[in-house]
Amino acid sequence: MASMESLVSGMICGVLFGFFSGQPLTILGSTGPVLVFETIVYDFCASNDLNYLSFRLCIGVWIGIILLILVATDASAFVCYITRFTEENFATLIAVIFIIKAIEKLFSIETKYPIDPSPCFCQPDEQLTGWNYSQSMLTVGSDGVGDNMKQVCSILRNSASVNATAQQNIPGHESVGCHYVPNAFLMSCLIFIFTFLISFHLKQFKSQNFFPAIVRSYISDFAVVIAIVSMTIMDIVVGVDTPKLSVPDKFAPTLPSRDWLIHPLGGNPVWTAVVAVVPAVLGSILIFMDQQITAVIVNRREHKLLKGGGYHLDLLIVAICIVVNSILGIPWFVAATVLSINHVRSLTRESECAAPGEKPQFLGIREQRVTHILIFITVGLSVFMTPLLSKIPMPVLYGVFLYMGVASLNGLQFFDRILLLLMPKKYQPDYPYLRQVQLNRVHLFTLVQVLCFVALWLIKSFKQTSILFPIMLVIMIGIRKALDLFFTKKELQVLDDILPEFKRHKRLDDEEALQQDDDVVHKDGDAPDQADDLQNKIKCTESSVEVPMLNGNVLKIPHNPCINITEEMNKSGCWKSLEENSSAASLDKLEQIKKRGRKMSLVKEEDEGGITIKTGGGGGGGVTEAGNEDEKKRLVDDGETSV
User: What residues does each domain of the chain span?
Assistant: 3-112+248-383, 122-126+136-179, 412-496, 601-643
Instruction: Compute mean pLDDT per 10 residues along the chain, 643 residues long, and list them.
Output: 80 90 88 82 86 89 92 85 84 88 88 74 68 63 52 58 52 69 85 93 84 84 90 90 79 77 84 89 87 86 83 91 90 87 84 66 86 88 81 90 88 88 85 86 91 88 76 84 86 80 54 55 44 57 69 65 58 50 56 56 44 46 52 55 44
Residue 147: the pLDDT is 56
Residue 636: the pLDDT is 52
CA distance linking residue 431 with residue 435, whole number of Å = 7
Helix (H) or strand (E) holding 502: none
In 3D, which of 473, 448, 447, 443 has the Cα closest to residue 459?
473
Residue 229: the pLDDT is 92
Q: What residues have CB less than 8 Å from 108, skipping those under 6 apart?
A: none
Handedness of CA 326, 330, 332, 334 (dihedral sign): negative
Would you tell me how many other CB atoms lie within 10 Å of the CB of residue 194?
17
Contact at 8 Å (CB) between 57 and 264?
Answer: yes
CA distance linking residue 571 with residue 576, whole number of Å = 8
Rounding to the nearest 10 degrees, give the CA dihedral for residues 446, 448, 449, 454. 120
Contact at 8 Å (CB) between 146 and 174?
Answer: yes
Residue 190: the pLDDT is 92
CA distance linking residue 66 with residue 61, whole number of Å = 9
Q: What residues have CB less than 8 Å from 505, skipping those under 6 apart?
A: none
User: DSSP code of 538?
Assistant: -
Contact at 8 Å (CB) between 437 and 495?
Answer: yes
Would you tell me how many other CB atoms lie within 10 Å of the CB of residue 307?
12
Residue 67: the pLDDT is 92
Residue 604: the pLDDT is 45
CA distance linking residue 613 with residue 624, whole number of Å = 5
**Alpha helices, DSSP H, located in 222-346:** 223-238, 271-275, 277-298, 311-328, 337-346
Residue 620: the pLDDT is 43
Rounding to the nearest 10 degrees, give the CA dihedral for residues 197, 199, 204, 208. 80
List beta partners, residue 229. none
**Alpha helices, DSSP H, located in 128-276:** 184-203, 213-221, 223-238, 271-275
CA distance linking residue 98 with residue 341, whole number of Å = 13
Question: Phi-psi category of 431—alpha, beta or left, where left has phi over 0 and alpha has psi -120 to 50?
Answer: beta
User: By three-state DSSP, how is residue 365 classified?
Assistant: strand
**Cα 198 from chain centroid?**
17
Would you tell me how many other CB atoms lie within 10 Å of the CB of residue 570?
11
CA distance linking residue 401 with residue 33, whole number of Å = 16
Residue 162: the pLDDT is 41
